[in-house]
């Protein structure tokens, strides 16, 4: 009959139900597995945020030390740049000073060379006093025992020709030989009659009553200028 369930129909219905349950079970498990991460993800993120915002005192102190170290490093770098600039400027100044020293040295050498060359040139002696002085003291020697003038020479006008250097050496040798250097003042020379004849402008000047109005001024540093009158041609 149509409304009556037969054993055969009952078995078919049970089979369909079992298949349906079997099919739905894996689907439910798959759905559960897919949905589980979605539900737990916010909790993991929240836990991570909570850990990052919660900094321990030791970590805070470490971060502060790191910042201080960075600031010190920046100051050191600026200081090093300043020192390098100072070092470069110092080297440049040293180079400039060396160039100036070399230039000054060459200039001094040139002046000394020109001066010595001028002093060593033979020039005629125009005064009788200097000519007589050379002829009477030609055997005097310098500090090394060498003759200052080995042979006197005369020009075509029979003028004695000597250099200013020879004249100065001969005068100082005469002062040493006759012990005319002042004992109290080593720079001063006590003039005798020969030196007074050679350098009258260095002698003491007296008035009519014999009073000294100008002191004697014969010193080693005044001899070279006093020698000029003997090498100046008369007007």
CA angle (167 as vertex; 139, 127 as ends), nearest 5 = 105
Q: Give the CA distances from residue 101 to residues 2, 104, 108, 229, in Å, rounded to whole numbers and listed in that order.
A: 136, 5, 10, 37
Please give, one letter per residue, the 3-state secondary structure of 180-212. CECCCCCCEECCCHHHHHHCHHHCCEECCCCCE
* 96 and 128 housed in the same domain: no
With CA atoms as reference, report the closest residue to 152 among 165, 138, 166.
138
Q: Is residue 16 part of a domain?
A: no
Greater confidence (22 vs 138) lies with: 138
Q: Is residue 31 part of a domain?
A: no
* 77 and 112 housed in the same domain: yes
CA 24 – CA 21 distance, rounded (Å): 5
Residues spanned by the domain of 207 = 122-231
Mean pLDDT, rounded, of the chain? 82
Between 97-101, 109-113, 139-143, 216-220, the lowest mean confidence (pLDDT) is in 109-113
Choose the final residue of a domain: 120, 143, 163. Answer: 120
* 153 and 193 housed in the same domain: yes
* 222 and 153 housed in the same domain: yes
Residues 6+ apart with CB under 8 A from 231: 123, 124, 125, 126, 164, 167
* 189 and 88 housed in the same domain: no
The per-residue pLDDT for range 13-27, each reduced to its tens digit, is: 555 555 555 555 555
User: At residue 26, what are phi and psi to the nearest 5 degrees?
Assistant: -60, -35
pLDDT of amino acid 159: 93
Which tokens hold the place of 96? 């400039």
Greater confidence (12 vs 161) lies with: 161
pLDDT of amino acid 20: 55
Q: Is residue 92 part of a domain?
A: yes
Average pLDDT of the residues in 67-83? 92
Greater confidence (42 vs 221) lies with: 221
Greater confidence (48 vs 101) lies with: 101
CA 89 – CA 83 distance, rounded (Å): 10
* 88 and 138 housed in the same domain: no
pLDDT of amino acid 156: 84
229: confidence class by pLDDT, cuts 50, 70, 90: very high
Bridge partner residues of 124 (DSSP)? 161
pLDDT of amino acid 15: 58
pLDDT of amino acid 210: 85
With CA atoms as reference, report the closest residue to 190 among 200, 180, 198, 199.
180
Q: Is residue 206 part of a domain?
A: yes
Choose the final residue of a domain: 83, 99, 120. Answer: 120
Q: Is the pLDDT of residue 93 over 60?
A: yes
* 113 and 137 housed in the same domain: no
**Mean pLDDT highest for which of 13-17, 127-131, 140-144?**
127-131
Q: Is the pLDDT of residue 44 over 50?
A: no
Q: Is the pLDDT of residue 68 over 50?
A: yes
Q: Is residue 156 part of a domain?
A: yes
Choose the final residue of a domain: 120, 145, 171. Answer: 120
* 88 and 104 housed in the same domain: yes
What SS3 state is found at 6? Answer: coil
* 79 and 152 housed in the same domain: no
Q: How far is CA 165 from the centre of its chain?
A: 40
The per-residue pLDDT for range 170-218, each reduced to its tens digit, is: 999 999 999 999 999 999 999 999 999 999 999 999 888 889 889 999 9
Average pLDDT of the residues in 38-48? 48
Q: Are 223 and 171 in contact (CB under 8 A)?
A: yes
User: At residue 156, what are phi and psi to the nearest 5 degrees?
Assistant: -65, -25
Average pLDDT of the residues in 140-144? 92
Q: Is residue 47 part of a domain?
A: no
Q: Is residue 81 part of a domain?
A: yes
* 189 and 156 housed in the same domain: yes
Q: Is residue 210 part of a domain?
A: yes
pTM > 0.95: no
Domain count, the chain: 2
CATH number where 153 lies: 1.10.245.10
* 138 and 217 housed in the same domain: yes
* 116 and 144 housed in the same domain: no
Greater confidence (229 vs 4) lies with: 229
Give Rg (Cα) of the chain.
59
């Amino acid at each position: 009959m149509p409304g009556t369930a037969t054993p055969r129909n009952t078995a078919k219905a049970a089979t369909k139900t079992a298949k349906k349950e079997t099919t739905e079970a894996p689907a439910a498990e798959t759905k559960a597995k897919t949905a589980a991460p979605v539900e737990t993800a916010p909790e993991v993120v929240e836990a991570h945020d909570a850990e990052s915002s919660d900094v321990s005192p030791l970590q805070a102190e470490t971060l502060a030390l790191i910042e201080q170290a960075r600031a010190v490093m920046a100051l050191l770098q600026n200081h090093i740049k300043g020192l390098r600039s100072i070092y470069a400027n110092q080297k440049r100044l040293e180079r400039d000073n060396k160039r100036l020293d070399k230039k000054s040295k060459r200039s001094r050498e040139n002046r000394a060379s020109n001066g010595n060359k001028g002093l060593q040139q033979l020039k005629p002696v125009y005064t009788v006093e200097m000519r007589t002085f050379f002829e009477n003291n030609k055997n005097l020697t310098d500090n090394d025992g060498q003759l200052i003038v080995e042979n006197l020479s005369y020009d075509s006008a029979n003028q004695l020709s000597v250099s200013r250097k020879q004249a100065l050496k001969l005068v100082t040798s005469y002062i040493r030989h006759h012990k005319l250097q002042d004992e109290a003042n080593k720079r001063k020379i006590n003039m005798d009659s020969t030196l007074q004849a050679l350098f009258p402008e260095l002698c003491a000047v007296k008035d009519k009553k014999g009073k000294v109005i100008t002191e004697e001024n014969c010193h080693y540093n005044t001899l070279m200028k006093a020698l000029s009158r003997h090498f100046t041609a008369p007007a």
